[in-house]
Amino acid sequence: AQRVTQPEKLLSVFKGAPVELKCNYSYSGSPELFWYVQYSRQRLQLLLRHISRESIKGFTADLNKGETSFHLKKPFAQEEDSAMYYCALSGGGSARQLTFGSGTQLTVLP
Amino acid sequence: DTAVSQTPKYLVTQMGNDKSIKCEQNLGHDTMYWYKQDSKKFLKIMFSYNNKELIINETVPNRFSPKSPDKAHLNLHINSLELGDSAVYFCASRHSGGARNEQFFGPGTRLTVL
């Protein structure tokens, strides 16, 4: 069975402060990990994929297989980063459906 | 606009009614999904179709019946609606042969059962 855990339901930081959104996963094979973001009144959209090892909007996430974690980080939070963030896992199989964590609502305060 | 679209955006109905939600994608994808987001914002897969064939059915009550008339459409019909069906339903699509394995989501349909 595959599972994604995001321990923080709500997270508030001040503008300019570092932010880290935690994500841990459980999967027996080699998972593909993602971060999706949902801004207010907008659709869910892909932010990052672990395979790409990219930095999008200043966010990065590193897959740590030993700790089974895929935490999302940004050194200096901006007010426009306020949104709901979902960590997701895509396992094997033809459907490659996403298993989502419960989400973390990030609020960046001025 | 290339995107995943859903209709209606909002749906308010009485318990016991039957309703449908439609999803269309013009991205040329061959795999489509339905996800349910409950009141606590938890997102869970319901169904997945590939080339009009059902490949995932995640223990969803059989009151929910997806239908894919072609690769670009995946509709969701719900019979005998219950209070617990109130949620936001998201359609998504993906190109199964794509390198990015990225799913594109629709704007969601907020269903309220009274």
pLDDT digits (tens, 9 = 90+) for B55-108: 877 778 889 999 999 999 999 999 999 999 999 999 999 988 777 788 999 999
DSSP bridge pairs for B2: none
CA distance linking residue B75 with residue B89, whole number of Å: 11
Establish if A54 touches chain B: CB-CB under 8 angstroms.
no
Mutate to test the interface with A, among B1, B40, B43 (most CBs of A within 10 A): B43
Indicate the SS3 state at residue A80.
Answer: helix
Please state, in angstroms and rounded to a whole number, the distance separating the CA atoms of residues B4 and B6. 7
The residue in chain B having the minimum alpha-carbon distance to the alpha carbon of residue A50 is: B100
CB atoms A49 and B100 under 8 Å: yes
> Which neighbouring-strand residues pair with A20?
A73
The closest CB to that of B33, out of A42, A84, A97, belongs to A97
Among chain A residues, the shortest Cα distance to B48 is held by A95
Per-residue pLDDT tens digits of chain A, which is 110 residues long: 789 999 999 999 999 999 999 999 998 888 899 999 999 888 999 999 887 778 889 999 989 989 999 999 999 999 999 999 999 998 766 678 889 999 999 999 99
Taking the C-alpha atoms of B49, B53, B59 and B62 in order, what is their torsion angle to the nearest 10 degrees? 110
pLDDT in tens, B6-29: 999 999 999 999 999 999 999 999
The predicted pLDDT at position B1 comes to 66
Task: Please give the single-letter amino acid code of residue A78.
Answer: Q
Task: Give the integer Cα–Cα distance in Å for A41 and B60.
Answer: 27
